[in-house]
Amino acid sequence: MTTITTHEAKTHLSRYLAEVEQGKEYIIARGKHAVAMLVPVPAEQKKARPKVGETLDPPFDIPDSAFAPLTEEELKEWGL
């Protein structure tokens, strides 16, 4: 890793950014003390968007009992 001063970083920032894009890393120092690192950002991995109508979750079955009529007791519980 190459060490550069804050003055160099400000003066030649575009050049350093181009080199960082190619994988190079820099330490930026104020005087003799390192204060920052200029490193490439990891590439963002885009998630594929689902197509219209495509389900994201696994399918599930609705049992036939879900469509059965309510019993008299259940109707009373619901106040019907």
The predicted-structure confidence for 6-62, as pLDDT tens digits, reads as follows 999 999 999 999 999 999 999 999 998 999 999 999 888 888 888 998 888 898 899
What CA–CA distance (Å, rounded) separates 34 from 9?
A: 13
Q: Please write the tens of the pLDDT for every residue from 5-17.
A: 999 999 999 999 9
CATH number for the domain that contains residue 24: 3.40.1620.10
Note whether residue 17 is domain-resident.
yes
Q: What is the extent of the structural domain holding 28?
A: 2-38
Q: How many structural domains compose the chain? A: 1
Query: Over the Cα atoms of the chain, what is R_g?
Result: 31
The SS3 call for residue 36 is: strand
Amino acid letter, 56: L
CB atoms within 10 A of CB 46: 6
CB atoms within 10 A of CB 4: 15
Note whether residue 20 is domain-resident.
yes
Note whether residue 23 is domain-resident.
yes
